[in-house]
Amino acid sequence: MEETQRQKKIAGVIQKDLADILQRAATDSGLKGTLISVSKVSVTVDLSLAKVYVSIFPNKDAKALLEGIKAGQVGIRHELAQRTKHQLRRVPELNFYLDDSLEYIDNIEKSLKGEENPIENRDLLDKRKKA
């Protein structure tokens, strides 16, 4: 089902403010050089739930940082409510997910550059076959 204009607008507001909140929290807690961005937000039709896809770079810390974000979800939602109080009557419940598209793209680039080139190394083909 297609998202309504209202859903898209609220998702955009949430995405912009959450990206700022998460990045500021990362720098305040001493995580220099860690980039946290909100790649996508989708809001349900009744505006009660928002799926937030978070992209974290470098990837090695991603799972631990996502757990930290989920643990601080109440504080994050409160901060979001303070920022959007003139735009949203109620802030949706936030569900955070890890967006691993950067890692996926990185793996494709490694394959294309020849580090795992199946044309040169035929043994990789057996590893890549679907069972």
Distance (Å, whole) CA 57 – CA 118? 28
Which fold, 5-99? GMP Synthetase; Chain A, domain 3 (3.30.300)
The reported pTM is 0.76
- Burial class from Cβ neighbours inside 10 Å (0-12, 13-18, 19+) for residue 61 reads middle
Q: How far apart are the first and last CA of the chain?
A: 33
In this predicted model, what pLDDT tens digit does every residue of 113-123 receive, in sequence order? 766 665 666 66
In this predicted model, what pLDDT tens digit does every residue of 64-86 receive, in sequence order? 888 989 999 999 999 999 999 98
